[in-house]
Amino acid sequence: MQELARQPRLRRESYGELVQIDGSEHRWFEGRGEACTLLVFIDDSTSKLMQLRFVPSESTASYFEVLQAYLERHGCRTAWSGTAAGQHWRHGRR
């Protein structure tokens, strides 16, 4: 079966227009602690790391906790994009 080629998505033009959200489970502390997940919020136009937090696991509750901290620090953005359980999601303007 032949894979379809995807066109790369153009980055947003303005800071804060789109925030990419993702989590990465790993043994971040090389045996000095339990495996955990790093949740990362990245501005699409600048690639600036906006919010990072280590959490026990990638869950709805952990995303909401980090989102609350993000909103308190940076305010609400126009659009959000991320993946959860292997499914891509997007909210806001395209």
Give per-residue pLDDT as tens, 76-89: 866 777 765 554 44
Kindly state whether residue 8 falls inside one of the protein's structural domains: no
Kindly state whether residue 80 falls inside one of the protein's structural domains: yes
Residue 55, pLDDT score: 96
Mean pLDDT of the chain: 83
Kindly state whether residue 79 falls inside one of the protein's structural domains: yes
Kindly state whether residue 49 falls inside one of the protein's structural domains: yes
Domain count, the chain: 1
Query: pTM higher than 0.75, yes or no?
Result: no
Do residues 15 and 45 make contact, with C-beta atoms less than 8 angstroms apart?
yes
Kindly state whether residue 65 falls inside one of the protein's structural domains: yes
Can you give the residue range of the structural domain that contains 81?
18-85
Kindly state whether residue 11 falls inside one of the protein's structural domains: no
Helix, strand, coil share of the chain (percent; to 5): 15, 40, 45
